[in-house]
Chain A
Amino acid sequence: METRYFGKPLKRNEDHRLLTGKALFVDDVTLPGMLHVAFKRSDFAHGRILEIDVQAALERPGVVAVYTAEDLGDYHQPGPLLLPAPPIEGAVFHPRMQVPLAKDKVRHVGEPIAVVVARSRYIAEDAAEEIFVDIEPLDAVVDLEGALDPDTPKIHDDLESNLAAHVVQSKGDFDSVVDKAHRVVRRRFFYDHGIAAAMENRGIVASWDARDQQLEIWDTTQAPIAIRNGLAGMLGLAESQVRVVAPFIGGGFGPKIMMFYPEEVLLPWISMRLGWPVKWIEDRAENFVATTHERAQIHEAALAVDENGKILGVEDTFIHDAGAYNPYGLTVPINSQCTLLGPYDVPNYRSEFTVVYTNKTLVTPYRGAGRQHGVFVMERLLDLAAKELGLDVVEIRRRNFLPPDAFPHDHGLIYQDFSSLVYDSGNYEPALDKAVKLIDFAGFESGSSEIEPHKRRGIGIVCYVEGTGIGPYEGAKVTVEPSGTVSVVTGVGTQGQGHFTSFAQVVGEQIGVDPTKIRVVTGDTRLFHWGAGTFASRGAVVAGNACHAAALDVRKKILKMAGELLEAPEEDLELVDGKAQVKGVPAKAIELGELASLANPMRGAVEPGTEPGLEATTYFGPKHGSTASGVHAMEVEVDLETYDVKILRYVVVHDCGTVINPLILEGQIQGGVAQGIGNAFYEQILYGDDGQLLNGSFMDYLLPTSMDVPNVVGDHVETPSPLNPLGIKGAGEAGAIPVGALFAQAVEHALRDEGLEILEIPLSPNRLFELLHDREGIASTEESGS
């Protein structure tokens, strides 16, 4: 019998290296003669550069070079623009891209102005301190809503205003249902999303070898192939002259797929210019201002329902903060716009967003990538409507789910991948039922909120969908070597998702090899140079299916050869323990390694058209993304003396289609929940009116610790995706997306005697205190349709 590896909770292949300190991270790369780089960055959010004097820096012993924008010549180019305007009728998009080094003007604190190359990082930082930059400060644009005021300074002088984009998408006709509605719930929502704060900061090592005309780069990127291709173009090299390696990456979560960071553009150029390897490793203070953020959106939204709580329509108008530049296009606000619809049947929808430039660090996707903003708005609207109608929060959701026979469901909107927003499959009610049971929702409802005099308990439950696994494609190369070792190479980078194990399981399943004997390499463009990267919960879906397809091709080659050698029909063969054998006759078998040797003859003739070796390179591209879904529930205790919120129980019931490795999946969900909790109650990037980041350290920007994140109880529903052979949907972001909405609902429920409405995230003990003691702070209006 062929052994099953797929779907098993196998321990990870990569752990041994990571646990013994032997895994290679970018900062571990050391090359002979390597020089070190530090940046002089802007202390001002907005200003004109009047003068830069690098002389003192250049004179410091140990300094090799100092460069400003002037020195870059034609290499000083903005961009590139990663994603153009989406194909949405009437969409307005004014992209302005970051430059390698600021010239004339600075537009956010932390923007690089000059770069120092020295013998050590210590010297480089000393010298960077000595660079004199005279900046004439301009008023900073910080407030989202004020960004478009006519008297607000312009961030990009060539634009008419700070408007970066304006997009309207709709289906049905919302206006037509307002008058018919039993109720229209209308509120203003504020949702602020924090920063990724991966434990490893960014870093780059670049090494130009003039003798063999090769550029090697180690980069903490989620998209090594795109970095290679882009840099080759900028530097005038053939793509094959550039090798980008994304080795072990200490957490990505989105910002490490932003490209191109100024440092990414500069380090290779410096290495080519000086002829020496150069290294730059971001420090945490830089990470807060120079690595991209996610931040706030302000929504004005309305939900129209009939007397049974059925959704008639939703209208949402929101404003999105792009930061100082917008190379990543409109991915984040489009995600917000599309994900708002959730698992619900929304016949009429109008969504309009405005993107504005501000004097802050750039906004690009961070785990969830705008989806949580949309989920927050929808879930809060449903909670408010339920309250008005006297329905419970579970019931109003149940009544509005898209039924299992509604799929594929085309919303008639354009999603972030520029294809139609089509839900491939879904079955939402079983997940809700499971979550209700696991959290004992009914049992709790009957109880009182008051447990101790100063403590209040509440419960919450929310639903969401997540568009995952978008195209265009990924590829994989599977090779059986003569030693019997199997190698799998794919283009996506890995940042802790367990690719070395789950891809090995996918391949092992098809060719009968134990996954511990399969060597997976990701993120080295010399070994595989086709693909897009790791983002949008797509690694397992797209690269996983590419591995599957390549393994199937190798399986076919194995069966054909083994059938001939063993003189047995292919259908009588099985692949077990690294051998091809006649079913049930272990004596009639041949090792895969031996087959691989025979497939690469040194003498003699082969049939025309024969490919050598047991190897296949195969690609997979889905028609469009697959839609995962889930339900989160939790019970909280709010302390009315400290305003701390303690999570007593947390439940996740998740549907990501077929599961490759349940252990890894659990880890992804739990980790996502932890980031969601950070987003909901601990983390918020704070800017002063002058555009200074006020809490740029881990002392001030709080990440949740082991004391703050509860144990998560999980369960699954499996609704396979019809869009890929393995039936997989993505899971990477699912844990993080609905937590803000859940937090608001559960805390509001705990404080139900206070009649508080929570229309914003993140909360914090301080903010909760303010909300309870300063009700003026809550902006809300209500209207009744009938």
Chain B
Amino acid sequence: MDTMTREHPSSQQPEQGTSSRQIPITVTVNGQKRHGVVEPRLLLSDFLRHDLGLTGTHVGCEHGVCGACTVLMDGDSVRSCLVLAVQAHERELVTVEGLASGDTLHPLQQALRESHGLQCGFCTPGILMSMVPFLEENPNPTEEEIRIALSGNLCRCTGYQKIVEGVALAAEMMAEGSSPEDVGGAES
């Protein structure tokens, strides 16, 4: 059971693994071109979080069930833990960091705050990135339709009711094109 330690790597070069094969990729994330050199096995979720520093995308299960890591790829919701970074080459990605424009939150972000549709907030980025394209496709959903669309995202805190209310409120707000009451707060 004898163990030993080796020198700490003095180099701080990014290195995801031992595979000698490193593939250059270019992705557009939230409107910006980003480049990376990645191992073929690197998950898109890890590329976004650790290589690009976009830590708003969360990883909850790494087997495609919880939905916390959902991002938009060419406009569609995908689970970034089930996509390899190399598959995102030359694709257009939107993450939770790209939803608000400047200080103005997306109506769905505003509505979830209004409705108390988040508690710990860990699943929230994935829920936003699932529900934004849903509302684009179905701007006037029924409660049942919202619940079906939401059923691919797990939330352990809220019991979903207030998320459903928030999505319905967002649909209303988007239909009216209105800005809801001030969403500012201590941190806005």
Contact = CB atoms under 8 A, between A and B. Distances in A.
Most buried by B among A58, A199, A504, A672: A199
Contacts of A60: 18
Contact of A709 (B3, B41, B53, B159): B159
B113 A496 contact: no
Nearest to A18: B121
A655 interface: no
6 contacts: A25-B55, A62-B9, A117-B5, A196-B156, A200-B122, A703-B156
B154 A698 contact: yes
Nearest to A59: B6
B158 interface: yes
Interface string A654-682: 00000000011011001111110000000
Given A60-B18, A198-B156, A671-B119, A12 B58 contact: no
Interface string B66-98: 101000000000000000000000000001110
A71 interface: yes
Nearest to A697: B63
A500 B55 CA distance: 22
Nearest to A17: B187
Interface of B: 1-9, 12, 15-18, 39, 41-42, 49-50, 53-63, 65-66, 68, 95-97, 99-100, 105, 109, 112-114, 116, 118-125, 128, 146-148, 150-164, 183-188
Most buried by B among A60, A64, A735: A64
3 smallest CB-CB distances across A and B, nearest first, come from A21-B56, A250-B122, A496-B120
B187 A276 contact: no
A23 interface: yes
Contacts of B18: 60-62, 123, 126
A122 B18 CA distance: 9
A35 B15 CA distance: 11
Nearest to B57: A21
A280 interface: no
B159 A20 contact: no
Contacts of B62: 283-284
Contacts of A119: 9, 15
Given A199-B122, A697-B63, A699-B63, A709 B160 contact: yes
B65 A64 contact: no
| Contact count band on A | 35 or more
Contacts of A706: 146-148, 150-151, 153, 160, 163-164
A266 B164 CA distance: 42
A68 interface: yes
B185 A11 contact: yes
Interface in A675-726: 675, 697-699, 703, 705-707, 709, 711-712
Interface stretch (A383-391, A516-524, A544-552, A574-582): A516-524
B12 A28 contact: no
Contact of B6 (A21, A64, A496, A673): A64
Given A68-B3, A197-B156, A667-B116, 9 more contacts: A11-B183, A15-B112, A15-B118, A21-B95, A64-B7, A71-B3, A496-B118, A496-B119, A703-B156
